[in-house]
């Protein structure tokens, strides 16, 4: 008896099918990508601090821009790493290293952006608390 292959090879037929694939991708990110989990933990910590400090709505907008900048760049970095690994396998290739390094640099830039946003929002709040 031959088992029928359950992998999808056609285009998604329904919106919910697309959502299912997207949720599966997020699940893989959480389970397999250490840095993605770290980013989520930092996001939760900053959210809690923001709630405790009762920051203004416009500060929340900046924080969410920073959160999604970092998380989005981490997703793109994971995509680059997976595609490069698919192409080169376990062999060293200078162009593969270059692609991975550039993708990682994008994550670093977005993390610096997030740290600047966090500092601009929270340092004045902490200074105010100390007075």
> Which one is catalytic: 24, 32, 74, 128?
74
The answer, yes or no, to whether residue 128 has pLDDT greater than 90, is yes
Number of domains in the chain: 1
Q: How far apart are the C-alpha atoms of 3 and 63, rounded to whole Å?
A: 49
* 32 carries a ligand binding annotation: no
* 100 carries a ligand binding annotation: yes
10, part of any domain: no
Q: Which residues lie below 8 Å from residue 63, measured CB to CB, with a gap of 6+?
A: 46, 47, 50, 55, 117, 118, 121
Residue 77: how many CB atoms within 10 A of its CB?
22
Coil vs helix vs strand at 24: helix
pLDDT value, residue 13: 82
pTM score of the predicted model? 0.85
2 vs 127, more confident: 127
CATH number of the domain bearing residue 106: 1.10.287.3610
pLDDT value, residue 9: 73
Structure confidence by residue, pLDDT tens digits, 46-102: 999 999 999 999 999 999 999 999 999 999 999 999 999 999 998 999 999 999 999
Tell me the Ramachandran region of residue 82: left when phi exceeds 0, alpha when psi lies from -120 to 50, beta otherwise.
Answer: alpha
* 128 carries a ligand binding annotation: no
Concerning whether 24 is annotated as a catalytic residue, the answer is no
2, part of any domain: no
Compute and round to an integer the Cα radius of gyration of the chain: 20
């Amino acid at each position: 008896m031959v088992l029928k292959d359950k992998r999808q090879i056609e285009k998604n037929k329904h919106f919910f099918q697309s959502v299912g694939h997207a949720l599966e991708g997020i699940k893989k990110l959480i389970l397999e990508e250490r840095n993605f989990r770290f980013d989520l933990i930092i996001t939760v910590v900053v959210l809690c601090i923001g709630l405790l400090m009762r920051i203004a709505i416009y500060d929340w907008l900046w924080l969410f821009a920073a959160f999604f900048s970092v998380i989005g760049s981490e997703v793109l970095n994971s995509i680059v790493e997976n595609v490069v690994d698919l192409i080169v396998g376990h062999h060293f290739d200078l162009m593969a290293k270059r692609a991975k390094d550039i993708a990682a640099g994008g994550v670093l830039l977005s993390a610096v952006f997030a740290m600047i946003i966090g500092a601009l929002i929270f340092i004045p709040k902490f200074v105010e608390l100390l007075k």
